Structure 1
Amino acid sequence: MGQVERQEYEYIRHGTQSLIANWRVATGTVLTPSIAATRTEADFAAHIAQTIASDPQAGWIVILDQLNTHKSATLVRLVDRLCDLQLE
């Protein structure tokens, strides 16, 4: 306690990856995982589009937290287009 955090001399950081995955509650499996170098609103919208495309007639229910990419304009436009809401 009271010591400054130090980095080990052998530690090499090779970059990070973003994992976006869906949890299918009924079966306890992961569905359509996406791994990328970024986590932008376009990445998340593409992930949701990929998920819906895996079974377009499923009647998807998606539960999200309040992360900014989960309520972006890009995602709203995607849902508008897929559900034919005619918001624009």
Structure 2
Amino acid sequence: MAHVLSWSDYPEHRADLSNVLALSKTHHAAFDRELFTIDQDYRLCVNPSFETQSDVLQRTIIDREGERISIPDDSLKPQYVAQHNAALEWV
């Protein structure tokens, strides 16, 4: 699970399930390294400087930029996504 608002910077949201994305270990690491994010409409946004030689990351992140990802309704607080993205220089 990846925390939208980081575990270390927002300890008050550590146990808040509306602050987590279910991601694989690989995608969690890419999210934490700010290589991609999602917008408030749950569309995939890719950091313009993200380059990879990984076929998996190419297929599942870079090639899918702009696609809406499936997230259960009301499972993620939009304000957390907005706050996370406001801290990213490239968004």
Is TM-score (shorter-chain normalized) higher than 0.5? no
Instruction: Bin the TM-score by the shorter chain.
Output: under 0.3
Higher relative contact order (CA 8 A, sep 6+): 2
Greater strand proportion = 1
TM-score (norm 1): 0.28
